[in-house]
Amino acid sequence: MSEKAPVRIAVIGAGAMGRNHIRFVTEEPEAELIAIADAFEGARATADAAGVPFFTDAAQMMDEVKPEAVIIATPNGLHLGVAREAITRNIVPLVEKPISDDLEDAEKFAAEAEAAGVPVLVGQHRRHNPFVKKAKEIIESGELGRLTVSSFHYMIYKNDEYFDVEWRRKKGAGPILVNLVHDVDLLRYLLGEPVAIQGMQSSAARGFETEDSAVVNVRFADGSLASMTISDATASPWNWEACAREDPQYRPFDADAYFIGGTKGALSLPRLQVMSYDGASSWHKPLKMDVPAVDPALPHKMQLKHFVRVVRGEEAPVVTPADNVKTLRALNAVKRAAETGELVEL
């Protein structure tokens, strides 16, 4: 049997995330980088360094180079326009999260993609983290019993210079809409679908128009509860970036960002410490701790391997546009609840 040819992939958008994707594609033996497109002419140097053709027009690139797949890492507002160009050409796209800042358009695109019959993978890379996948397995096995309460934390300090750009001080540019999409996605993936959200927010630390901190409570369909603490003005290691060792620009800390509790046990992530009792649960007994053996792997690389199999028709996308719409709907509910103080029902 002959070996399969590498999947021919083009990257659209050569900013920081796009350059990461370019590197991952060039390092993956099952993939071949064949072109780069970016509206910014200065990105041509990135294509030259990679030894592939450069285009300022993504549609022209798709017509001339005819990739099997594209990775879309443009600014959020451009994601769906490029993705639509891809699916009309029967080209399989990986669309970076969120697929859109506009929930209504995201819902429309999800229906379009399904009708077109072209698989679309959304780049929620944390779903591909082996520790997250193991946590999902533990929860679904019933090892933790009935889920009761959980807490998710995104507490980080963005340097003051970050806010020299005016839009980052304006309404809508706070950590809820800018950063929380990953955490909300894993909240749904691990705990289930939210049915009600309440919260409050504050801009007291910096005094900007947008929030710098928020707290949120979530109720799920099965009756379990969760809280989320969100801040980009808090000096702490209790955020996924600092704990998960996924990005070398963050100094890794031996700490956790998520805590998930049930009637028989609890676990923390990303260290995946599983706490339980011998036999029946009782606060008078000592807890034991277990850390399941998991082979670490860079989630972006695992996501790319999955994407190759999606393009080949060997697997269905782990995160579809319809799935991402649910995350966006929950994220918008978090923002509305924090802004208004209302109980938002989903």
The CATH number of residue 70's host domain is 3.40.50.720
Burial-class residue 190 by CB neighbours within 10 Å (0-12, 13-18, 19+).
Answer: buried
Q: Is residue 303 part of a domain?
A: no
Is the predicted pLDDT of residue 248 greater than 80, yes or no?
A: no
Do 25 and 56 fall within a single domain?
Answer: yes
Is the predicted pLDDT of residue 86 greater than 80, yes or no?
A: yes
> Structurally, how many domains does the chain consist of?
2
Do 137 and 14 fall within a single domain?
Answer: no
Contacts of 280 (CB under 8 A, 6+ apart): none
Do 138 and 86 fall within a single domain?
Answer: no
Do 253 and 204 fall within a single domain?
Answer: yes
Instruction: Give the end of a domain, one of 118, 140, 163.
Output: 118
The pLDDT of 311-318, averaged and rounded, is 98
Is the predicted pLDDT of residue 269 greater than 80, yes or no?
A: yes
Do 106 and 179 fall within a single domain?
Answer: no
Which stretch of 237-251, 272-286, 331-345 has the lowest confidence by average pLDDT? 237-251
Do 167 and 274 fall within a single domain?
Answer: yes
Do 172 and 98 fall within a single domain?
Answer: no
Q: Is residue 338 part of a domain?
A: yes
* pLDDT at position 252: 78
Do 150 and 88 fall within a single domain?
Answer: no
Q: Which residues constitute the domain of residue 288?
A: 127-297+328-345
Do the beta carbons of residue 54 and residue 60 sit within 8 Å?
A: no
The pLDDT of 246-261, averaged and rounded, is 87
Summarize pLDDT for 106-155 with one digit per residue, the tens: 999 999 999 999 999 999 999 999 999 999 999 999 999 999 999 999 99
Phi, psi values for residue 12, rounded to 5° = -115, 115
Q: What is the CATH number of the domain that holds 154?
A: 3.30.360.10
Q: Is residue 315 part of a domain?
A: no
Q: Is residue 318 part of a domain?
A: no
The pLDDT of 317-335, averaged and rounded, is 96
Find the helix or strand (DSSP H, E) in which 147 lies.
Answer: strand 147-155
Distances (CA, A) of 118 to 24, 93, 94, 130, 339: 23, 9, 11, 27, 38
The pLDDT of 155-159, averaged and rounded, is 96
Q: Is residue 225 part of a domain?
A: yes
* pLDDT at position 316: 98
The pLDDT of 217-245, averaged and rounded, is 96
The pLDDT of 27-48, averaged and rounded, is 96
The pLDDT of 225-245, averaged and rounded, is 96
The pLDDT of 212-228, averaged and rounded, is 98
- Cα separation, 292 vs 76, in Å, equals 37
* pLDDT at position 2: 46
Length of the chain: 346
* pLDDT at position 176: 94
Do the beta carbons of residue 114 and residue 329 sit within 8 Å?
A: no
- Cα separation, 270 vs 239, in Å, equals 10
The tokens for 42 are 């200065």
Summarize pLDDT for 52-68 with one digit per residue, the tens: 999 999 999 999 999 99
Do 139 and 257 fall within a single domain?
Answer: yes
* pLDDT at position 1: 40
Report residue 98's pLDDT band, with 50, 70 and 90 as the boundaries: confident
Report residue 260's pLDDT band, with 50, 70 and 90 as the boundaries: very high
Q: Is residue 321 part of a domain?
A: no
The pLDDT of 308-336, averaged and rounded, is 97
Report residue 95's pLDDT band, with 50, 70 and 90 as the boundaries: very high
Instruction: Give the end of a domain, one of 96, 118, 140.
Output: 118
Do 96 and 74 fall within a single domain?
Answer: yes
Q: Is residue 255 part of a domain?
A: yes
Q: Pick the closest to residue 152 from 181, 121, 114, 183 (CA basis).
A: 183
Instruction: Give the end of a domain, one of 118, 148, 166.
Output: 118
Do 60 and 86 fall within a single domain?
Answer: yes
Do 131 and 111 fall within a single domain?
Answer: no
Q: Is residue 306 part of a domain?
A: no
* Mean of all residue pLDDT scores within the chain: 95
